[in-house]
Amino acid sequence: MIKYFDGGMGTMLNLKAGELPELLNLSDPERIFAIHKAYAEAGCDIISANTFGANRLKYDNADELIKAAVQNARRTGKKVALDIGPTGKLLKPMGDLDFEECVDVFADMVKAGKDGADLVLCETFGDVYELKAAMLAVKENCDLPLVVSMIFDDKGRLLTGADVKTACAVAEGLGADAIGFNCGLGPKQMIPLVEELEKCCSTPIIVMPNAGLPESVDGKTIYNVDPAEFADYMKQIAEMGVSILGGCCGTTPEHIKAMIDATKDIPDKVPSFKTDTLVTSYSQCVDISDGVVIGERINPTGKKLLKEALRNKDMDYILREGITQKDAGAHILDVNMGLPEIDEEEMLCKSVFELQSVLPTPLQLDSSDAKAMESALRIYNGKAMINSVNGKEKCMKEIFPLAKKYGGVVVCLCLDEDGIPSTADGRIAIAEKIINTAKEYGIDKKNLVVDALTMTISTDKNNAVETLKAVDYIRNTLGVNTVLGVSNISFGLPNREAINTAFYTLAMNAGLSAGIINPKSKSMMNAFYSYKALAGLDDNCEEYIKSATPIEVVAEGAKIDLKQAIIKGMKEESAKCAKELLQTTDSLEIINNYIIPALDFVGDGFEKNTLFLPQLLMSADSAKSAFDEIKAHIVMSGTPQVKGDKIIIATVEGDIHDIGKNIVKVLLQNYGFDVIDLGKDVKCELVLEEAIKQNVKLVGLSALMTTTVPNMEKTIKLLHDNTDAKVFVGGAVLTRDYAKMINADWYAKDAMESVRIAQEFFE
């Protein structure tokens, strides 16, 4: 049978601006209990404790509030979910919250609430990295079932860019017991998301929409879907095969009762088990079985320049290598820091962090050191490829628990205590042993990729033949995806690329899923695209045709110019480029010809949904690095600085959320505007006072809570009645129609639109 969560808490509390719901667990527990009781009487099975924002970053007495909240919910006699919401901060490198501190914040919540709870609900997460921190905190501190619910926009993306498939792969990999959606959208808008989730999800699905979209009526925020309409949509969703239903903002006991009445006779249905082998970053998902290229260049074996870069901790070299491989067509990047004279664990973690700061490309973590592997897996943002495990008992005991805990696709090497078998049969036997052992750890073969091992033909003429036999059997009989380090085939031979290319083509024909190759090799990439076209794996030959168009790839050792550095999000490189340009080029020329075009390029990509928030912010940070050099140069030269047009931004009174405002601030500053940030929870009168005092003509207001939108409306009225300033607004609870209702001059759906509004206004 379908299980039912309750509905909105804030909706029922009808809070005054600035009133924090979690405080009521202690100050007015009967008010909270009455709402829980109403939902219980409506028929729901699970009551969410009033703990959503009860973390130590917001409350000094978070533990006390959580314990009281769980007991309030417990009084209903229903099952209780410890409700964990986001911290309200962005994690590094986009924000200032460290990953381990984030884990620790959530761990405190789990420890405080686990004893009275029956399950944990991590809901309204818009960033898979923060979700990972929350899920690890839950898994490491209790054994309760874990339900995960994320907030997607109307384009089917999380705040930090993940689509449904990517987010699902990460959550499943980390061990969620149910996955789905809440908040942000009404039930009608969630139907396409449910359709997408069912294609990729193997767990029960949870859906908890808002009661439609918000509107402002007589100064109050209301939602436009009544209980009967809500129930009709939820019936459609239930019939799609959903196991858990509930409501979010705007829903009431009446909504929940109508939903239960409409769906109680519909049997629950868990999606079919999916066998796709998925590797992800924070925003991109790669299916290994589609045939992929793994870039081999960030591996010191045989690479003098990379070895030197590792010894010198030269991250710019590593980043350039990653960027050029990605631009050349690599779908995944191998990252190996195995150099004896360096601290492998430190450099692997640093490289993973830095590469993920500038690239959305998934990574293959390549290490024989289990400690280094765990450290890198822990901070990895997404579902990594884990290279590697082999048939040795010790190795399997070290690596499989890590793969189970952190999620990932494990590369399985066909060798054991006796070395590498010379025959295909010997390697297949080891592959079968690894596959069976993985199953004992709860790891399905879809999360394994077998490396049959490439041995050079210069030492045995049958080495290629035996490897290809093993690849064929593993892929086509055992049904497990395969990977090979292709270039090993030609060691000791002249004109190696010719042998490599021919072997690569043969291997793909035998069933090779992923080749670890040099994507900057034209002949290897030609072989890849040609084979996919010939094998019927490239619809309309689109990939082949695209590959035939020359791609500008930065040559090894070549410098990246300032515009490229900003687009790629390379902070140190941007500062260096700006410093060098200042020796020969005017400051204003650098800004107009390099910095602003780079920001426009990234901004256009963001608006077209081809680039996402992390890239936008990292590019903004890189532009700031360049601006800092320009400012320093201006100060040294004695030239007077010219400030841009002034803009006030503020989160309105009663609202303590400022993620969106801070993103807007960074972008506006990088476009040269003089931003006066009044902070969060800003009184209407203060906004007006500052606008008059500083003669500001454009004001940006943010709100994330429905209860604070009336203060936004009040602030707009004060500004319009007493100044000629114009106002743009934004925030999760707003829509374009809603903004019009409260008389805002513009609605900014995201940070880039704020920039466009400012440019249009001042032009």
The token duo for 54 is: 């009860």
The closest alpha carbon to 208, from 19, 44, 23, belongs to: 44
Between CA 321 and CA 554 the distance in angstroms is 9
CB atoms within 10 A of CB 302: 9
* 3-class DSSP state of 187: helix
CB atoms within 10 A of CB 26: 15
Does the annotation place 395 within a ligand binding site? Answer: no
Distances (CA, A) of 459 to 261, 462, 463, 504, 515: 73, 9, 8, 19, 22
Cβ(384)–Cβ(378) below 8 Å: no
- Name the DSSP class of 23: G
Does the annotation place 183 within a ligand binding site? Answer: yes
Helices 29-42 and 253-263: angle between axes, nearest 10 degrees: 20
Contact residues for 646 (Cβ-Cβ < 8 A; gap 6+): 673, 674, 675, 676, 694, 695, 696, 697, 698
Between CA 460 and CA 464 the distance in angstroms is 9
Contact residues for 609 (Cβ-Cβ < 8 A; gap 6+): 155, 157
Residue 436's Cβ-count burial label (10 Å; 0-12, 13-18, 19+) is exposed
Cβ(158)–Cβ(127) below 8 Å: yes
Helices 463-476 and 424-440: angle between axes, nearest 10 degrees: 40
Between CA 452 and CA 420 the distance in angstroms is 9
Angle at 252 between CA 249 and CA 254, to 5 degrees: 145
| CA quadruple 71, 73, 77, 81: dihedral sign | negative
- Name the DSSP class of 496: H
Whose structure tokens read 């880039």? 752
Contact residues for 413 (Cβ-Cβ < 8 A; gap 6+): 388, 389, 390, 391, 451, 453
661, amino acid identity: K
Does the annotation place 249 within a ligand binding site? Answer: yes
Residue 552's Cβ-count burial label (10 Å; 0-12, 13-18, 19+) is exposed
What single string gives the DSSP state of each residue in 37-89?
A: HHHHHHT-SEEEPS-TT-STTT-TTHHHHHHHHHHHHHTTSSEEEEEE---SS
End-to-end CA distance of the chain: 60
The closest alpha carbon to 732, from 25, 125, 99, 66, belongs to: 125
366 beta partners: 336, 387
Cβ(662)–Cβ(712) below 8 Å: no
Cβ(569)–Cβ(611) below 8 Å: no
The token duo for 636 is: 């040294």
Whose structure tokens read 């990653």? 322
Whose structure tokens read 């008010």? 31
Annotated binding site: 183, 248-249
Annotated binding site for Zn(2+): 183, 248-249
